[in-house]
């Protein structure tokens, strides 16, 4: 009688159970790693986006700073050119007035002293021109640079040199303001003519210094503007 093979159902069931147990475990591991990978990828993308955004913002800010710096330099150059022309306009006139006044004082010292002691005594004539006319220098470029904080984006040495020019301009303007105020408070002509002669001597010195400073600073501004473009 032929042998009948009876399958071992328990063994197959056991193997089937083992197979069934392994498959869900692998699936669970796979399903657990997928969201982790997705989160990691999202973090990388977000970090990259933030980095690119910061880099773009820094580039825009840097460009804005360069534009402010170039605009300020252009204003400084235009203002110093105009101020130089204005100082040159009055300098020749002031030199002439100073020489005439010095000659007048040297020639009429005793008579002027007598008039100072006794205002009733006559004033020597002819009286030279003694009208003060200071150069109309401007400060608006410096004010603009302070308002926009653009000085922070310029070469510090250049800023220091420009500041020196503006301080000298202010001293020059203050001297003219002082002589203007004195003209309303000095009744004696001999006192006035001495004082205004001193003023023209100071103005002549300030104007010489200003012209020299303009001639030094303008080429530096030309160079700085060329580099800023």
Total Cβ atoms within 10 A of residue 138: 15
CA–CA–CA angle 206, 133, 78 (5° rounding): 65
DSSP 29-77: HHHHHHHHHHHHHHHHHHHHHHHHHHHHHHHHHHHHHHHHHHHHHHHHH
Residue-wise burial string across 153-166, b where 16 or more C-beta atoms lie within 10 A, e elsewhere: bbeeebbeebeebb
On whether the CB atoms of residues 214 and 84 are closer than 8 A, the answer is yes
On whether the CB atoms of residues 104 and 193 are closer than 8 A, the answer is yes
pTM, entire model? 0.70
Per-residue pLDDT 10s for the chain (229 aa) are 445 444 444 444 444 444 444 455 655 555 666 676 676 666 766 766 666 555 555 545 556 567 888 999 999 999 999 999 999 999 999 999 999 999 999 999 999 999 989 988 999 999 999 888 889 999 999 999 999 889 999 999 999 999 999 999 999 999 999 998 888 888 888 999 999 999 999 999 999 999 999 999 999 999 999 876 6
For residue 168, what are its two tokens? 């000298």
């Amino acid at each position: 009688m032929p042998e009948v093979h009876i399958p071992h159902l328990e063994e197959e069931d056991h193997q089937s159970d083992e197979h069934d147990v392994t498959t869900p475990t692998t699936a669970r591991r796979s399903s657990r790693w997928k969201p982790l990978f997705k989160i990691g990828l999202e973090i990388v993308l977000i970090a990259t986006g933030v980095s690119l955004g910061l880099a773009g913002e820094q580039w825009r800010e840097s460009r804005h700073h360069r534009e402010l710096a170039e605009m300020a330099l252009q204003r400084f150059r235009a203002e110093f050119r105009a101020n130089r022309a204005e100082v040159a306009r009055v300098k020749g006139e002031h030199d002439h007035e100073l020489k005439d006044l010095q000659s007048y004082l040297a020639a009429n010292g005793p008579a002027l002293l007598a008039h100072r002691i006794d205002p009733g005594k006559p004033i020597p004539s002819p009286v030279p021109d003694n009208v003060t006319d200071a150069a109309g220098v401007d400060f608006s470029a410096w004010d603009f640079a302070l308002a926009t904080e653009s000085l922070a984006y310029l070469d510090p040495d250049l800023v220091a040199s420009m500041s020196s020019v503006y301080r000298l301009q202010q001293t020059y303007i203050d001297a003219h303001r002082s002589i203007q105020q004195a003209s309303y408070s000095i009744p004696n002509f001999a006192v006035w003519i001495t004082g205004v002669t001193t003023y023209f001597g100071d103005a002549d010195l300030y104007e010489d210094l200003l012209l020299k400073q303009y001639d030094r600073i303008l080429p530096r501004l030309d160079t700085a503007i060329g580099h800023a473009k």
